[in-house]
Amino acid sequence: MSQTLRFLHFDCSEDSSGLTSFEAMASVGAAQWPALQAEVAALLDWAHHGFAGVRGPLEEDGDWDYDLHASLETVAALELDYDPAARRLACQAASDGLPRYTLTLTLGGTAGFALALRERFDLDDD
């Protein structure tokens, strides 16, 4: 049974030896952060259980591996105006900033892992 991902949209590339890399980035506000974490956890849970014991660097004959990072930024709108007397832009924060979470996930794997990942999470070959 396949599962559609809501937040993660992967770019895929394959090297000449048949190894595939899937890269995704998602950026969400505080309200969506728990759902994004749950989506990533579900994907990694599937990989850990479906390919148990074979995770490791692909250069060392692992079937799959991943790299996961996140950052938290405060995003605030700026009011901009041009000051002709000073010949420059004037800016001021319009409000207090809101948190924005950005997560990146890279999955790499063999042809078998890549096929299973595509089927399980309904990933097309775009």
- For 57-112, what is each residue's pLDDT tens digit? 888 888 999 999 999 999 888 899 999 999 999 988 877 888 999 999 999 999 99
Q: Give the residue extent of every domain in the chain.
A: 19-72+101-120
- Please choose, from the candidates 43, 45, 51, 68, the residue with its C-alpha nearest in 3D space to the C-alpha of residue 121: 43
Determine the pLDDT at residue 29.
95
Give CA angle at 5 (108, 54), nearest 5°. Answer: 30
Q: How far apart are CA 79 and CA 17, in angstroms?
A: 51
Determine the pLDDT at residue 63.
93
pLDDT class of 125 with cuts at 50, 70, 90: low
